[in-house]
Each structure stands twice: as structure tokens, then as C-alpha cells.
Amino acid sequence: MPRIGDPAPAFEAITTQGPIKFPEDFYGSWVILFSHPADFTPVCTSEFITFASLESEFASLNCKLVGLSVDGLYSHIAWLRTIKEKIEFKGMKNVEVKFPLIEDITMKVAHKYGMIQPGESSTKAVRAVFVIDPSGKIRTIIYYPLSLGRNFDELKRVVMALQTADMFNVATPADWKPGDDVIVPTAGSCGVAKDRMEGKESNITCHDWFFCTKPLTKDEVMKKIQK
């Protein structure tokens, strides 16, 4: 089962957008690789409509989407056609899913990524989310049970926060969103800690020597992370 910081396990697969080599084909982009339990199920349908409706927003963050379930290719195709032709959810309708959806009948990929969790189901993938960076490294892992639909604002926030941390050498506090203050690296010496507590470092607010923040505007963030 892969862990945060590991290289994303490699595989080749057939998808609704043709064959892929993962993560090789996606180097240079962020990727959300996610699994769902089954085609033609209601929670999964609501999620795919939402993912597809937000695809352009993820693309603006240089982030691509790749889905997976243990169903076959023809089931995938029929389900995605049904979504486009028949399903409306929260005002979203006529939604075309253009990102690849992996066929994984053998569960090879699902097992490689720890998406099959027998305590929940031995025949369906749980709702796993892997956020993978442009070098192919796993940066975030989130698991949801079969009954719980994902929070898409949070998935987008995760991508933005990871990119912000990388580009500005900062960390992001609880509930951070672009425009909020960010956390600067902890002081590496007593001298730096003392200077910060005495206000000698401009533009930094210290709640204590180990917890210091600085402003980072939404414009500064979005100029860096948006394509």
C-alpha cells in the first residue's frame, strides 16, 4: 500500500480515453487519481458529474483527473453516456466526462493502490483519492467509505495548498484558503527565534517562537499556481 512521499506505483491500463501509462503519461502535471465503487450507482454518479463540471478549474491549476473502478470498459462507456443524456444534479446537466476512467476488472491497480479494503468491501473499491505531483510523487492520500461522497472544495483546496507550500516555502494552517495567512518555517536557531519574537523580521507575526505567520494575498498565490 503506497504512502505519502512514495513514487506513485506504475501501471498500464485501458481507459475511456484510450490506453495510459501511469504516472509516466502525466509527468509535469499534478494528478488526482481517484477510485469509486461501481458504475450506475447514485453516489458515484453525483461525484462524476461534479468532477467533470470542475475539470476546467482543476486544469487551471495544472491538475488532471483520472478515475478508476473495477467495472469494465463498456460499462464505463454506457454509464458516462447515461450521465450526459439523463442525469441532472444540483443544476448540472448534459455533463460530459472527458477525463479517463480506468477499467480494472482484475483489481490489479486497485490492489496496488490499497483501494480494496475488505472491511468495507472485497469486491468494490473504496473512494480513494491520491494527489500526485508533477514528478510522480504521492503527496496526499484520502479515503472515504462507500456511503460518503467526497467534498470537492476540499480536494481543490488540497491541490492549491500543496502548490502554495512548494512555491512559497511555507505551510498552510487549519482551514487555509488562498488569501489567508501562511505559516513560515520554524526558527532554526535561538537567535532567529529571538529576533522574531522581538519583531525584528518584518511582515511576520509570531504567536510564539515556533508559530509564526505572514500574509500572502490571493493574487500572489493564484498568479503562481494558475496556468
Residue spans of the domains in the chain: they are 11-151, 169-225
Residue 128: count of CB within 10 angstroms of its CB = 20
Task: Give the three-class secondary structure for 36.
Answer: coil
* Whole-number pLDDT of residue 194: 84
User: Which residue pairs, CB below 8 angstroms and at least 24 apart, start in 139-147?
Assistant: 139/4, 139/5, 140/4, 141/2, 141/3, 141/4, 143/117, 145/120, 146/37, 146/43, 146/120, 146/121, 147/43
Catalytic residue check, 63: no
Q: Which of 47-61, 103-117, 182-196, 212-226 is least confident?
A: 182-196
The pLDDT of 117-127, averaged and rounded, is: 93
Active-site entry in 44, 63, 206, 212? 44
- The CATH code of the domain at 169-225 is 3.30.1020.10
Percent of the chain with pLDDT over 70: 100
Q: In this structure, what are the phi and psi dihedrals at residue 7, rounded to the nearest 5 degrees?
A: -65, 140
Second-level CATH architecture of 11-151: 3-Layer(aba) Sandwich (3.40)
Chain segment 52-97, per-residue pLDDT in tens: 999 999 999 999 999 999 999 999 999 999 999 999 999 999 999 9
- For 160-215, write each residue's pLDDT tens digit: 999 999 999 999 999 999 999 999 988 778 888 888 888 877 889 998 888 999 99
Q: Is 127 annotated in some ligand binding site?
A: yes
State how beta strands 205-208 and 11-13 pair: unpaired
